[in-house]
Amino acid sequence: MLRLIATRLLSALPNLAGVVVITFILTRALPGDPAAYFAGAAATQEAIAQVRSQLGLDKPLLEQFFQYVAALARGDMGLSLTTGQPVAQELLARLPASLEMVFLALLLACAIALPLGVLAATRPGSWIDQLCRLITTAGVSLPTFFTGLLLAYVFYFLLGWAPSPMGRLDPMFSPPPTITGLYLIDAALAGDAAMWWASLKQLILPVLTMAIFVLAPIARMTRASMLSVLSADFIRTARASGLSTGMVLVTYALRNALLPVVTTLGMVFGFMLGSSVIVEKVFGWPGVGSYAIDALTASDYAPVQGFVLAMGVLFVLLNLLVDLLYGLIDPRVTVAS
C-alpha cells in the first residue's frame, strides 16, 4: 500500500511540472497587461513601464519562469496584486468554502443517484427507469448557472424560503472559530446550533445546484453497471441458491458494480472542483474558483497559477484515493504501480 502511494505520487510529479509550465505560458499569452491595469486608465506610458518594472514583468520570460519555479520550491506561490496577500494563504483560506460545497453536493447526488440507478436497473422499462432517464437528461441539459439562477429566483425571490444568495453566512452572524475552515463542522465543534443552521441554509441552494448537474452521470453509470452485473452467471446462481433479493442486490450485485461507479465519482468530483466557479459566482460564494476568476479579470498571474496548481494537486490525490478504494471494494483488483 505504501509503495503504491509513493509510486503514484512520484509518477505525478512530471504531470504537475507540466501544469506549472503550461499555466505560466498561458497566463502570459492571454490578452491583458497587469501593469496597465494597476497603473490605472489615466496612466502614462512611463508610469505603466515603471509599474511593469516594479512587478518584474520587464525581465525576459525565461528569467521570470525560473524565478517562479525557485519561489515554488520554497513553498511561495507569490503575492496577489489585487489583494496584496500571499496566494498560498488566500487559497488555504478559501479552499474549505469550495470543498464544503462540493463534498455536500457529491453526497447529495450519490444519495439520490445510487438508489435511483439500482432501482432503474432492477426494473428496466418501468416508470422508475423512465424517471431515471428523465432526471439524468434534465441534469446534463440544464447549465449550472441557469439552474442556480432559477433556484434563487424561485426559493429566494418568489417564495422567500431561502436566505439571500450572498456568501457562506448571513451578515448578522460572525464566522465560527476556525478549526477546519468548514463552517458546518466548526459550528458543530463550537456547539453553536444557530450558527450551524444558518450555515446549512446558505449551503442548500448552491449544493442543490451542483447536485442536480452531477447526479446524471452517477445515476447513468450505476444503472449501466448494475444491468451488466445482474445478467452475470454468479447472480443467477445466488438467486437459485435461495438468497434474498436484498442480499443478492447489495452483497453481490452492487459491490461488483461499484468499481466503474467509483471511477465515475472520481471524475465527477474533479470536474466539480474545477467548475465550481460558476456556482460560486452565482451565489457570491467566497471559494477558490471565484478568487481565480477575479484574478484572471485583473490579469493577476500569481493567483491563477496558484489555483491551477492547487487543482492539479487535488486531482492527483483524488486519483490516488480512487485507486485505494478499488482495493477496499474488491480485494481481487490489483492496481499497477
Q: What digits encode the pLDDT tens for the residues 41-51? A: 666 777 777 77
Q: What digits encode the pLDDT tens for the residues 79-113? A: 787 777 888 888 888 888 888 888 899 899 889 88
Long-range contact pairs involving 9-12 (C-beta distance under 8 Å, separation at least 24): 9/316, 9/320, 12/316
pLDDT confidence of residue 282 = 85
Three cell numbers, residue 59: 525581465
pLDDT confidence of residue 32 = 65
Nearest to 287 by CA among 26, 82, 64, 99: 99
What pTM was estimated for this model as a whole? 0.80
Where is mean pLDDT largest: 31-45, 98-112, 269-283, 299-313? Answer: 98-112
- pLDDT category at 55 given cuts 50, 70, 90 is low
pLDDT, the chain, mean: 80
- pLDDT category at 4 given cuts 50, 70, 90 is low
B/e letters for 154-165, b = 16+ CB within 10 Å, e = fewer, are ebbeeeeebbeb
The topology under which CATH files domain 87-329 is MetI-like fold (1.10.3720)
Residue 333 pLDDT > 60: no
> How far is 184 from 288, CA to CA, in rounded Å?
18
Q: CA angle 323-72-274, nearest 5°? A: 50
CB 95 within 8 A of CB 203: no
> How would you class 231 by CB atoms within 10 Å of its CB: exposed for 0-12, middle for 13-18, buried for 19 or more?
exposed
Looking at residues 188-201, what average pLDDT do you find?
88
Please report, for the chain, the start and end positions of each structural domain, with discontinuous segments joined by +. Answer: 2-73, 87-329
Where is mean pLDDT largest: 73-77, 78-82, 96-100, 228-232? Answer: 96-100
Between 336 and 112, the higher pLDDT residue = 112
pLDDT confidence of residue 327 = 67
